[in-house]
Amino acid sequence: MTDMMQPSVDVEQLSLRDYAEKAYLDYSMYVILDRALPHIGDGLKPVQRRIVYAMSELGLKASAKYKKSARTVGDVIGKFHPHGDSAAYEAMVLMAQDFSYRYPLIDGQGNWGSPDDPKSFAAMRYTESRLTPYAEVLLSELGLGTVDWQPNFDGTLEEPTVLPAQVPNLLLNGTTGIAVGMATDIPPHNLNEVVAATIQLLNSPKATVADLCQHIKGPDFPTKAEIITPAEELRTLYETGRGALRVRAAYRVEDGAVVIHALPHQVSGAKVLEQIAAQMQARKLPMISDLRDESDHEHPTRLVLVPRSNRIDLDGAMSHLFATTDLERTYRVNLNVIGIDGRPAVKSLVTILKDWLAFRKETVKRRLDYRLERVERRMHILEGYLVAYLNIDEVIRIIREADEPKAVLIKTFKINDIQADAILDLKLRNLAKLEEIKIQGERDELAEERDTLKKTLGSDVRLKTLIKRELKAVVEAHGDSRRSPLAKREEAKAFSELELTTADPLTIVLSEKGWIRAAKGHDIDPASLSYKSGDGFRFAARGKSNLPTVVLDSTGRAYTLPTHQLPSARGQGEPLTGRINPPSGATFEGLLTGEKGDRFLLASDAGYGFVVQFSQLQAKNKVGKAVLTLPENARVLAPAAIAAGEEPLVVVATNEGRMLVFPLAELPELARGKGNKLIGIPSARAAAREEFVTGLCVVTEGGTLQVTSGGHYRNFKWSELEHFRGERGRRGSKLPKGYQRVTRLQVVVD
């Protein structure tokens, strides 16, 4: 019993590690070579090659009647491809879809899917198919000694290893595939352009990618969407064999509406509509009011976007949609193919065309050699026929009387086995009808053809000329113009959240304790709003929801807040410190909002200030930006808005009752700093807080100035301000008694 358990010495032993490694490598190579990657010769994967070959064997050429696809699939999986019928059918469908293949190989009847849903095709028992005329470029030379044959899966039949393609089908239809550890993504191209580049490479073997790109401008998808990848990037892609393509939907404006009439390759119109509709529902596309799908049989793609008004920037809206939807798509390119050496590799455009030309030359040589052999064999037989004609009576007698006529004929007329068999294969009736003129005529024609074949095979120039002629013939038969236009476009940019915000009027309110909120409308009385105990109204600014809000603190720093994100005035707001990070102990001294070009007067109570544009006050980070430099012991004054008007005047008042009026033009426009002297306050007195500015505003021509002092005020008309006018930096003039303790200066509307 023990002896029986011991393994025989002759049994091969393999460790589990080695076995697993070998099994995985075998599987990997099978996937790479027999499933996922196309061959450079015909540009087909094995399953596609087997489908096309099986259909040709079934006689399903372009001129034949349609046949049920189920019958074709059954023939494929029964004879050549022992895999699932659904997978084989799906591969067959792909080759029949004119929106998937640039040059379809299969012509189908029935439901073969739609661009919107490529996998919506009917079951194979309901569809019918045959080959397209283009498929002949892969099959026409099949029986002419041009291909190597390999046994099928059960060894009962033979199948071609590679089809004898007359054009670089690999580039024309492209392909995608995922193997183990590698993938391939080859975009389709235009037949005319690829053939032109191939002919140039045939004429100039040292041509570079840049030379070939004069003919091949870029890929050519079966859609009219625009390829927007720059020419330099395309050239780099073709040089390295790797890269990416950007394809953008094509649109036009009709009656004020945007009509999208072409989508990127394999992009679903229904999905695009869903993406746009989702943005509209989320109120992230306020400029679009309606969305319609008007696609029909005549217009497979027609998506209509109706703008909210005729003032909408349609190009800007489309740029946003290109950035946020599948209206613009990026395609990966990886020119990974099985070369003529049988190995997978990523190849450049030049390498692909050179390898294919080497494959094509070999195919043409094999075809010519095969034909030459047939011609010489026929000429040899004709020589035997001629011998038979010259001795027709004797030949007939030998055939009728001799027991072994073949041996007698060989011995009598000094002919060989082939000639003797050819004579014996003829019926006596036909043998008697042999005519010398016909035999000689056929032999002369064949002799001429033989000489031509030998000259072509013996001359590289003649061989190249023949290949070029055949390439041009394919172009004449199947060539068409480019579908995908090449265009230069700016990079698509999505709207920011602020740009998508509607311009609703808002009143921004800031409390004494630094709580902020925004009330809808401009007819709000900020002081009447409810405030927390111990808190009250401090500042208010009227603006719009799509304009930012800037807050100025006591250290001279400015902070930017998105107005549309401010809390509602229905509550008591939120503390500013939750949204920004001011220095410890800082208080808020100013609130302003406006357009980028709006101007404000910034100043300190030491009597220094400058004009600043609103855009200069905005900061992206929470810590803000330093804007106003403060002299010793000086404090920040609330910014004064500069209204549009002629001859704006700056009005400054101090705690000692002095007021100065001077032209705004005397102040510089700065981005940051201390500014220039507004009113003459000695530095020592300002530092000691003995004299300081208590009021500041800007008055335009015809405006009225209101001076508030405690609980009462007085209005000064434009003409009355002349008394206080002077040069910038002067001491100013005294205000009337009772109004010298100025608490506020403001412009009032009559």
Residues with catalytic roles: 126
CA distances from 437 to 45, 376, 390, 444 (A): 51, 19, 12, 10
As beta bridge partners, residue 515 has 575
**Region of 541 on the Ramachandran plot (φ > 0 left; ψ -120 to 50 alpha; else beta):** beta
How many angstroms separate the first and last alpha carbons of the chain? 121
Mutual angle of helices 349-390 and 417-425, in 10-degree steps: 70
As beta bridge partners, residue 552 has 558, 590
User: Alpha helices of 58-127 — where are they, by DSSP H?
Assistant: 69-79, 85-96
Phi, psi angle pair for 420, to nearest 5°: -65, -40
Q: Is 245 helix (H, G, I), strand (E, B) or coil?
A: strand
Q: Looking up tokens 């998105």, which residue turns up?
A: 562
From the number of C-beta atoms within 10 Å of its C-beta (0-12, 13-18, 19+), residue 729 rates as middle
Distance CA 289, CA 305 (A): 8
From the number of C-beta atoms within 10 Å of its C-beta (0-12, 13-18, 19+), residue 536 rates as exposed
Distance CA 666, CA 611 (A): 10
Cβ contact 163:43 at 8 Å? no
User: Alpha helices of 174-305 — where are they, by DSSP H?
Assistant: 191-203, 209-212, 231-240, 269-281
Cβ contact 281:275 at 8 Å? no
Signed CA dihedral, 535, 537, 540, 546: sign only: positive
Distance CA 604, CA 678 (A): 10
**Region of 628 on the Ramachandran plot (φ > 0 left; ψ -120 to 50 alpha; else beta):** beta
Residue type, 741: R
Long-range residue pairs from 319-324, CB within 8 A, at least 24 positions apart, any chain: 319/490, 319/492, 319/493, 320/285, 320/492, 320/493, 320/494, 320/495, 321/276, 322/248, 322/249, 322/492, 323/492, 323/493, 323/494, 324/275, 324/279, 324/494
Q: Looking up tokens 């047939």, which residue turns up?
A: 374
Q: Is 305 helix (H, G, I), strand (E, B) or coil?
A: strand
User: Alpha helices of 427-506 — where are they, by DSSP H?
Assistant: 428-432, 436-458, 460-478
DSSP calls for 28-49: HHHHIIIIISPBTTT---HHHH
Q: Which helix (H) or strand (E) holds 386?
A: helix 349-390
Distance CA 657, CA 738 (A): 9
Distance CA 38, CA 339 (A): 9
As beta bridge partners, residue 592 has 550
Q: Give the residue from 334, 185, 348, 332 showing the smallest Cα distance to 247.
A: 332
Q: Looking up tokens 């050549």, which residue turns up?
A: 80
